[in-house]
Chains A and B, each alone.
Chain A
Amino acid sequence: MMVNIRWHGRGGQGAFTAARLLGAAYSSHENQYALAFPSFGPERRGAPIQAFTKLDTKPVVNRSEVNQADYIIFLDDTLFTEGILRELKADGKVLLNTKQSFDNSRILTIDADSIAAETLKQPITNTIMLGAFAEVFQGIGIQDIQEAIQLHMPAKLHDRNILAVQQAAAEIHREVVL
């Protein structure tokens, strides 16, 4: 069964990089396939953008944008409104980078900004949200994410991003999964 993931971020925050890393990590296994693409158009720093990852156990042929998602991931909570839940499947989850808390079991939160400040020393949360997603989704290992980072990101970014992914997975595990 296809899993549809939609990423929300601002230009420059790396939402599409996260979408692509997820697709690469998932499809590195036999008989697992993925499609990853950004919302197409002019690239502008700071403007809201979306990115999409589709995961399946057979080749993904539907190249349309995702209107009903299994997971919607926000790198930036200024883009989030509860109205977005209408675009989520009934058993879907929102994964939100925020310091706020929500009384809604469909909204999972993590303070990715704090992990970014501490570990990455810059306000980029894409790999942190990817680590949190992997822990929640369970259909992909943290090890797979690490390998995708090593394959697809510049070498100088490997260590801190891998550490950030591990911290995110541990934190969301404490907050949500337990």
Chain B
Amino acid sequence: MAKHFLSGNEAFAYGIRLARPQVISAYPITPQTIVVEKLSEMVEDNSLQAEFIHVESEHSALSCAIGASAVGARAFTATSSQGLLYMAECLTYAAGGRFPIVMMNANRSTALPWNIYGDQRDSLSLLDCGWIQAYAENAQESLDLALMGYYIAEHKAVSTPFMANLDGFVLTHTYEVVEVPEAAEADLFLQPYATENKLDLSNPKNLAFSVGPDHNTAFKYKEHLGILRAKEAISEAEYKFAKIFGRGYTGLIETYQTEDAEYIIITLGSIAGLVRETVDKLREKGEKVGLLRIRYMRPFPNEEIASTVKNAKAIGVLEKDISFGNEGTVFTNVNSALQKVGLSVPSSNYIGGLGGRNISAQEIEGVFEALKTEKRTVSFLGMEGEQP
């Protein structure tokens, strides 16, 4: 294991190289560009043996990855924002076809107004497409998710594509210390992709077919079970990962100081680090606060969230997303998790960081403070004076 100083994009590219994909198809878009640039350099200098296909659009990038996966190849692509939305049609093809593609998405705001900076509206608006969705906090976790993504996606019980989300710029373009595993260790962790779900001349079969009303529900039910089973595959992957690389992860969520916490912020992605630091600061003053970081939005950590927050006085969901006309999508999902087990912990929603706007330590402290009195509200950070 060697220590490097890498950006999130570069770290992800290093992780992908260790996973030895056979086909990479991509179309560049800010702030994803560097991950595919880096991979194309690796293919050029022969440190990665893969077919690199520079396609003409994101729709084709994912179509191409689906085609590669359908002949049994390990495939990778990456995108962001409008590019992800443009390939949305293909997302359901990949999921329904049970093609275990790994895709990196650099989380970026959606138009209009046109904006290249980070928020999570792009991927969160596509939760229902049948993909596993993971959210990285830092460059190390990004690299690790690139490797673990294939393990989980290709797991026989899962066979579901995997989307790893990195916050645009604040994670994709920020340099930090990253431990890069040796190729030999990575090969111990991840075996080559082997599947029967492929076009094969010696064993001809039909793939990606039509299914009418009689059997369609059965297919969709199996697709649902596959992504639910990812939960066990994630545990298995993390157990094996920790044994080989000595770095542990905690499944669908990560908790910090939640055991006795009265007030808990639930969030996802790279802002979690600053929330954790704020928890430390407030704990020094004797305030019982904690952090729950969602690592996977699909499969959704219903039981994990409910059991973590069951004794809290109030929770705040801090997210870089708004489902217009309702509330943040993470908030909706969290409330559903509580309701399913009959929990009535007051919850509030804080929408921040849209279009790359900074979320400051002071604002996070403000959320913890507001949780003491504010109950069951939806508010936008920085818009407090506005009339609804």
Contacts and interface: CB of A to CB of B under 8 A. Distances in A.
A21 to B, nearest CB: 9
A64 B358 CA distance: 6
A62 interface: yes
Contact of A65 (B117, B274, B358): B358
Interface in B361-386: 361
Contacts of B117: 40
Contact of A27 (B170, B177, B361): B177
Interface of A is mostly: loop
A40 B270 CA distance: 16
A164 interface: no
A23 interface: yes
A124 interface: no
A35 B276 contact: no
A1 interface: no
B176 A33 contact: yes
B5 A63 contact: no
A37 interface: yes
A33 B274 contact: no
Contacts of B27: none
Contacts of A33: 176-177
A16 to B, nearest CB: 9
A62 B173 contact: no
Given A24-B5, A61-B274, A36 B175 contact: yes
Interface in A18-55: 20, 23-24, 27-28, 33-38, 40-42
A64 B176 contact: no
A62 B360 CA distance: 9
Contacts of B273: 59, 61-63
A60 interface: yes
B174 A37 contact: yes
Contact of A40 (B5, B169, B276, B361): B169
Contacts of A40: 31, 117, 169, 173, 356
Interface residues of A, number: 22
Given A62-B274, A63-B270, A63-B274, A36 B177 contact: no
Contacts of A37: 169-170, 173-175
Nearest to A36: B175
Interface of B is mostly: loop
B174 A35 contact: yes
A32 B3 CA distance: 12
A35 B138 CA distance: 11
B248 to A, nearest CB: 16
B254 to A, nearest CB: 13
B109 to A, nearest CB: 12
Contacts, number: 66
A38 B274 contact: no
A5 to B, nearest CB: 13
Contacts of B169: 37, 40
B277 interface: yes
Contacts of B173: 37-38, 40
Nearest to A60: B176
B269 to A, nearest CB: 10
A36 B174 contact: yes
A35 B361 contact: no
Contacts of B31: 40
B174 A63 contact: yes
Candidate in B3, B177, B276 with the most chain A CB atoms within 10 angstroms:
B177
A56 B283 CA distance: 21
B358 A35 contact: no
Contacts of A41: 116
Candidate in A28, A33, A35, A152 with the most chain B CB atoms within 10 angstroms:
A35
A106 B89 CA distance: 58
B276 A61 contact: yes
B276 A23 contact: no
Interface string B164-185: 0000011101111100000000
A36 B5 CA distance: 9
Nearest to B169: A40
Nearest to A19: B175
A62 B177 contact: no
A63 B136 CA distance: 14
The 10 closest A-B pairs by CB, nearest first: A61-B273, A24-B5, A37-B174, A40-B169, A36-B175, A63-B170, A27-B177, A64-B358, A35-B176, A20-B175
24 contacts: A20-B175, A23-B5, A23-B175, A24-B5, A27-B5, A27-B176, A33-B176, A34-B177, A36-B5, A37-B173, A37-B175, A38-B173, A42-B116, A59-B138, A59-B177, A60-B176, A61-B277, A62-B273, A63-B171, A63-B174, A63-B274, A64-B274, A65-B358, A152-B5
